[in-house]
C-alpha cells in the first residue's frame, strides 16, 4: 500500500491549495478514480504479467489453476499440497495484501506447506496478476467466495479444516467472507494481519489531507461491522506496532470488538506494514495457533 499512499498524496496536494471550485472537480476525479488508488494492482509495473511460480521456490507438489467466478471472471490461483510427512488436515485459504501478486507471497505459503504441513490455496483477486477483470469491493467478495467454494467442492480438500488468512486488505476480504460463511461450521480458524476497521476510517489516519473527502469513498470494507457477527471461530490477530500505513490502533480496535472465542492477540513491536511477516515469532505464532486451536 505504499504506492497507494503516494498516489493518494499526489491527488490531494492540489485540492489542499486550490480554490474550492477546483477542489470540487478534483473530488469528482477522486470519486471516479478511487479504485485505481485503492487497488494498486499495477505496482510494481510488471505485477500483471510476471507472477513467480512455486517451482521457482523449489516446490513441486502444486497445481497452477484458473478458476471461473459466477460473474464471468477467471482467477489465477495456486493449490499447494501439504508436506506429506507433516500433513495435518488443514487447508489455509490465503488472501493477499495490495500491490504485487500471489507469486510474491509464495515464500510465506512455503513455510505453511513445508514446515507446518498445511495445504495452501492462494488466489489472486480480479484485476491482479494473471486474473481477468478490474477490482472493486463487490468483485473481490465474489472472488473470495469462489475460492472458499472451490475448497469446499474439491474432493481431496472437502472435510479438511479451513483457515482463512488475510494480510492488509486481504484481512478485510477474510472478515467479509467469514461473516457470510461461518454458520456452515467448516471454518476452523481465521488469521488477520495488519488490517483496518473500515476503508473510511483508514483514510483520515493514513491520508490526513483527505479527511474531508473520506465520505466520498465508495469502497466501504466494513470490517468493524462484520467481525462482531462472527462467533465460535478461533481468531489470531497479528499486529505490527510500527505499521506506517494502517495504524496499529485499527487492529487493537478489531480485537476489542471481536466476539468470537478463542481470540488470540500477538503484537510485534518492530513490525511495519509489509515486514511484520519477517519478525521473529511471526510464524511461531501461527504454528502455535494452528496446533492449539485449529488442528486439535
Ligand atoms: C513495502 O512495500 C512497498 C511496495 O511493495 C515498498 O515500496 C516499500 O518499500 C515497503 N516498505 C517496507 C518498510 O518494506
Ligand atoms: C480431516 O478432518 C475431517 C473433518 O474434521 C475428518 O472427517 C477426516 O477424517 C480428517 N482426515 C484425517 C486424515 O485426519
Ligand atoms: C526491536 O528492534 C530493536 C532495535 O533493533 C531490538 O533491540 C529489539 O530486540 C527488537 N525487538 C523485538 C521484539 O524483536
Catalogue all structural domains in the chain, each as residue range(s) with its CATH number. 2-294 (3.40.50.1820)
Find the helix or strand (DSSP H, E) in which 5 lies: helix 2-17
The C-alpha atoms of residue 105 and residue 268 are separated, in whole angstroms, by 20
Closest C-alpha residue for ligand 2 atom 3: 159
Is the CB of 272 inside a 6 Å radius of any atom of ligand 1? yes
Counts for the chain of helices (H) and strands (E), in that order = 9, 8
Q: In what order do the strands lie in the sheet with 62-68?
A: 62-68, 74-80, 119-123, 90-95, 161-167, 187-193, 235-240, 263-268
CA of 158 from ligand 2 middle (Å) equals: 9
Atom of ligand 1 nearest to the CA of 275: 14
Reported in sequence order, the residue ranges of the chain that DSSP labels E, i.e. its strands, are 62-68, 74-80, 90-95, 119-123, 161-167, 187-193, 235-240, 263-268
Q: Confirm if 198 and 221 have CB atoms less than 8 A apart.
A: yes
- Of the listed ligands, the closest to the CA of 282 is 3
Contacts of 38 (CB under 8 A, 6+ apart): 4, 98, 199, 219
Task: Say how many C-beta atoms besides its own lie within 10 A of residue 182's C-beta.
Answer: 18
Dihedral in degrees, nearest 10, Cα atoms 213, 215, 217, 220? 150
The residue with cell 461461518 is: 182
Q: Confirm if 246 and 168 have CB atoms less than 8 A apart.
A: yes
The residue with cell 513445508 is: 114
Pocket probe for ligand 1: among 206, 273, 274, the residue whose CB has the most ligand atoms within 8 Å is 274
> Across-strand partners of 193?
167, 238
Is the CB of 208 inside a 6 Å radius of any atom of ligand 3? no
Is the CB of 99 inside a 6 Å radius of any atom of ligand 1? yes
CA of 273 from ligand 3 middle (Å) equals: 16
The C-alpha atoms of residue 229 and residue 221 are separated, in whole angstroms, by 15
Closest C-alpha residue for ligand 2 atom 7: 159
Atom of ligand 3 nearest to the CA of 270: 1
Residues with CB under 6 A from ligand 2: 89, 159-160
Which pLDDT tens digits describe the chain residue by residue (296 residues)?
444 434 443 433 333 333 344 445 556 556 666 777 778 888 888 889 899 999 999 999 999 999 999 999 999 999 999 999 999 999 999 999 988 899 999 999 999 999 999 999 999 999 999 999 999 999 999 999 999 999 999 999 988 999 999 999 999 999 999 999 999 999 999 999 999 999 989 888 776 666 677 777 888 999 999 999 999 999 999 999 999 989 999 999 999 999 999 999 999 999 999 899 999 899 999 999 999 999 86
Is the CB of 274 inside a 6 Å radius of any atom of ligand 1? yes
Is the CB of 275 inside a 6 Å radius of any atom of ligand 1? yes
The bridge status of strand 90-95 relative to strand 119-123 is parallel
Dihedral in degrees, nearest 10, Cα atoms 253, 257, 258, 261? 120
Amino acid at each position: 500500500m505504499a504506492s497507494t499512499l503516494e498516489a493518494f498524496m499526489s491527488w490531494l496536494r492540489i485540492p489542499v491549495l486550490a480554490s474550492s471550485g477546483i477542489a470540487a472537480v478534483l473530488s469528482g476525479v477522486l470519486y471516479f478514480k478511487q479504485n485505481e488508488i485503492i487497488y494498486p494492482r499495477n505496482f510494481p509495473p510488471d505485477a500483471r504479467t510476471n507472477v513467480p511460480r512455486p517451482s521457482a521456490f523449489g516446490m513441486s507438489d502444486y497445481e497452477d489453476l484458473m478458476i471461473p467466478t459466477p460473474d464471468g471472471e477467471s482467477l489465477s490461483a495456486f493449490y499447494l499440497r501439504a508436506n506429506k510427512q507433516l500433513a495435518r488436515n488443514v487447508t489455509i485459504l490465503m488472501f493477499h495484501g495490495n500491490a504485487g501478486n500471489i507469486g510474491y507471497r509464495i515464500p510465506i505459503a512455503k513455510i505453511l506447506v513445508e514446515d507446518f504441513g498445511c495445504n495452501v490455496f492462494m488466489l489472486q483477486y480480479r484485476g491482479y496478476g494473471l486474473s481477468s477483470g478490474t477490482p472493486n469491493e463487490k468483485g473481490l467478495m465474489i472472488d473470495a467466495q469462489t475460492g472458499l467454494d472451490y475448497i469446499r467442492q474439491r474432493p481431496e480438500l472437502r472435510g479438511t479444516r479451513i483457515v482463512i488468512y488475510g494480510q492488509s486488505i486481504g484481512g478485510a476480504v477474510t472478515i467479509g467472507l467469514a461473516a457470510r460463511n461461518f454458520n456452515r461450521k467448516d471454518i476452523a480458524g481465521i488469521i488477520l494481519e495488519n488490517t483496518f476497521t473500515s476503508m473510511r476510517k483508514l483514510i483520515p489516519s493514513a491520508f490526513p489531507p483527505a479527511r474531508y473527502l473520506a465520505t466520498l469513498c465508495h469502497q466501504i470494507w466494513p470490517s468493524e461491522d462484520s467481525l462482531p457477527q462472527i462467533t465460535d471461530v478461533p481468531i489470531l490477530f497479528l499486529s505490527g506496532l510500527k505499521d506506517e500505513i494502517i495504524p496499529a490502533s485499527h487492529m487493537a480496535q478489531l480485537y476489542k470488538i471481536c466476539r468470537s472465542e478463542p481470540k488470540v492477540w500477538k503484537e510485534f513491536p518492530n513490525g511495519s506494514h509489509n515486514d511484520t511477516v519477517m519478525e521473529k515469532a511471526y510464524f511461531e505464532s501461527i504454528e502455535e495457533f494452528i496446533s492449539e486451536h485449529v488442528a486439535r
